[in-house]
Structure 1
Amino acid sequence: MKIGELAKQTGMAASAIRFYEARGLLSKVRRGANGYRDYPPETVPLLTIIGQAQQAGFSLDEIKQLVPADISSWQHAPLLAALEAKVSDIEALEARLAHSKQQLQALIRLVESKPDEMPCEENAAWVLASMGIPSPEGIAKKTITTKPVTHPKK
């Protein structure tokens, strides 16, 4: 099958297919006398696997290591180990993202708790001090408490 038909069947750009071929992920590509690529039918599921693996967070190098030359002969143990390792990576990323989210939400609460009468410059110094960050020159150097003060919302 020609690259245009393969692109249509997989929903991938022809340039992406050529890129995967150049990276060694597609090895059974023949060339006709005219130089056009001729892809075997099993390239369709292979490209689908590559796309789904990338969406799951696998790098192209990881995919190349996992996907056998003949996609009908998977090695069970290495595949299972790689999938489990990727799940662990995702869980670690989720934990880091949850921590970052909590930090940002705390910062939002600090910024939002500024009393209307407090100048922004003083609030910036207070927020920085609350975060344990020294205030740079030019930011108000008033007496700053490191404990958040709650102010009634209007």
Structure 2
Amino acid sequence: MRLTTKGRYAVTAMLDLAFHSRVKPVTLTEIATRQTISLSYLEQLFSRLRRANMVIGVRGPGGGYKLSRGAEEISISDIILAVDEQVDLTNCEQKSNCQNGQPCLTHDLWMGLSDTVRNYLDGITLKQLLDQADVQAVAQRQDSDVQQIMQFRDAETIGMALK
């Protein structure tokens, strides 16, 4: 399967965005901090997500990103495809040329599994994930963790300024 870090991080970032942008646009720095994803990597992902019309940027003070449509309209497979990931478990990229230009013995097996995974991810939306109690609990814990980190940084900065 060719679901790499790119696809996983894109889904994580989009879920974070869906959770937090209900109140206000979300900056990539906020997502990077909560999800411990490199800011430059998120910039690359959001460039692709923006081109795929999955997110929109809001300029100015208080700006950031928000979903371009409702969370109930965005499937996990939409996100993965938007960042150029494939849900493909074959070695031939579904071209049936796995063995000397012909299908291998297990080609149909891997094609069937790819279809099953794709259908599974097509059937799950951001909203469905957002509605899960465990997802909400993790998002709230991350918010609390980030607030503690920011308070510690502020206290450190104040301490350094007083020296």
| TM-score, structure 2 normalization | 0.30
Bigger Rg, structure 1 or 2? 1
| TM-score, structure 1 normalization | 0.31
